[in-house]
Structure 1
């Protein structure tokens, strides 16, 4: 049986490994290693899944700590999918958000999130300010 460890701190994260694995799994959105690190460090809560010290899953939440939270970067490395890893990461994050309205966006995992109690919302909008990932 697969032994998975879930970490909610960012101590000793190998950001290059994360970037490389995301690229290999076609889940890379173009952030550099430093941008990945900053994204996770600026999050309200994070969860990273490991199997034999290899990063196999990520999830993080942005929140005001009072009433609104947004779950982002939910990913499980393809060879490890459908083993409850994403469910555990989401449940870990949700446990840190009592009393908050939690929102997320997904292109292809609607049924997965519905099983976790999320309800489809009719409209979501987005806008990129300036050029994607150029923010300095």
Structure 2
């Protein structure tokens, strides 16, 4: 029990990870460079946070778009409108519907893979 209390106390007195990363550099640098280091470190952390947030948001947008498209296809096959109007029987319409849904899902997987790939940076 005492070790758990000590661990929580240690965690509450530790500086945030960005400050911890910059602190060794601050003790050995001139005053002006100290603030530049702190600002740069904070900016990198902030940029990484925004990148993660917007990547998550973009992923959510594409998932919703795919779900809406599948629902649209489902309604069309049930009402026999659009591309399913010319289907002779229900089995042919369901076959075409299944092919269309699988195409939509494959497109979504490709978009997901593109989002999961790291951004290319120019080497120099």
TM over 0.5: no
Q: Normalized against structure 2, the TM-score is what?
A: 0.22
The structure with the greater share of residues assigned to strand is: 1
The structure number with the bigger radius of gyration is 2
